[in-house]
Chain A
């Protein structure tokens, strides 16, 4: 395998350019039952329509769009947690068939199991996703990943005993522990106070820059998207939401908030994004 390091290096860099996720003409329709006084009828709500998206391996992509446009819906589809109506999704060239431990998910409200300690939550993930590990290997890994998010001293604490920021760090450690090739994050910092949020953003950025995987981040914050991503995907307002624009963020890494915030590119893209979001949000608010 290592006989020719030059060749393997080349395949490696080629792989980096590979597509990890390819979405073709994706549509998602929710059946909505509307009960009136006399009858109940099923209507179709077209949440997503004609979504085409390519996510390159080991890149960081943010998804921004007006409230209710279907960001979470798209993330759930990628996680294999819901079925789509038509179109195609490829993960590493293969048709997506369902959920799998190659994708780690992180939700806004942490989704920790309150009856398990921080270490127990990670242990559950490992036990479920990697049944080949022995209990002692699992314990070691739990410790390693809690250490990574700076929680080694809270290993044996229950979720109720730790702060929101710490809970989300446990959730991040849990998502990373199963060694996913892709991270799916649905507003992971959305429930945190401003200071904790910016602290955790930088933490996640540092971890990701050290140990790159493909990452998809849903966010409402333009600054957050700019700080973290290689690409920002803008969604239009629903119903029948699709992708309005994809913006490259060629800011150098490793990124440091204080420095990149002064970069003129940062300011340009930020203005552009603000304009788009304002326009789409206006469309949502005025249609309802």
Chain B
């Protein structure tokens, strides 16, 4: 009873908080401190308009928000998946072998702090294609958190468990696949969650320069000077990011070995 009540209570409080925020927003907008600043009513009106018909196509500068969202999600998913295919095995090998660690470390340390957007012109120069460039930027973005989390996870695998595997005569490859990989699953998923979060942040910025996608939608509405639609996009980007994050939280719960 009390657990149900607590959930209900937190929903109520959140709902109240949002309502209050919208009221204050509307009041400030109507005060006209910033000319033409859209209020919450206008923004939600637009939001309903956009989501009631998300899939229309009147050319690249007038695309339904559903299409734009799908374009962004597709870029993220492809770039992200490719990054995971590289990051997880490389992370495992970095964790297992000192030699691999020493040879990969310089790139990781040097490239990790670079904003992924710096790769955008390189991508355009090499691929001469905005679609592939977007995927490429997401690939570079997603790789580091997962690679680093995986390799750190390998180093913290219970040394007694490894001893047991070795004492049973397990080969190196058997140990990596059957012991180390499942042991570091929680770390891999934590890395993947961070990677996805960053990828979703970066795609919006990248698309402003690439054309099409939810990021370009924002840029286009800025050029149209229609700020309400920018807020619509922000709300949709936020909700999508939240859903993606929740997906990983669910996966992490499946691989929580401690409780």
Which residue numbers of A lie inside 8 Å of B, CB to CB?
76, 79-81, 99-101, 103-105, 107, 109-115, 124-125, 128-129, 158-160, 174, 178
Contacts and interface: CB of A to CB of B under 8 A. Distances in A.
A115 B166 contact: no
Contact of B168 (A101, A115, A158): A101
Nearest to B259: A160
Interface residues on B, range: 20 to 34
Contacts of A115: 182-183, 185, 255, 257
A99 B257 contact: no
B169 A111 contact: no
Contacts of B6: none
B179 A129 contact: no
A105 B163 contact: yes
Contacts of A160: 257-259
B73 interface: no
A111 B168 contact: no
Given A99-B166, A125-B164, 7 more contacts: A81-B167, A111-B160, A111-B161, A111-B163, A115-B182, A115-B255, A160-B259
B108 interface: no
B163 A81 contact: yes
A182 to B, nearest CB: 11
Residue in A76, A104, A111, A160 whose Cβ sees the most chain B Cβ within 10 Å: A111
A115 to B, nearest CB: 4
A101 B164 CA distance: 10
B221 to A, nearest CB: 48
A168 B125 CA distance: 60
Interface string B169-203: 11000100011001101000000000000000000
Given A99-B169, A101-B169, A128-B169, A111 B257 contact: no
Interface string B234-259: 00000000000000000000010111
Contacts of B158: 109, 111
B259 A107 contact: no
B165 interface: yes
A113 B182 contact: yes
Contacts of A76: 163
Given A114-B257, A160-B257, A107 B160 contact: yes
Residue in A109, A110, A124 whose Cβ sees the most chain B Cβ within 10 Å: A124
B102 to A, nearest CB: 17
A131 to B, nearest CB: 9
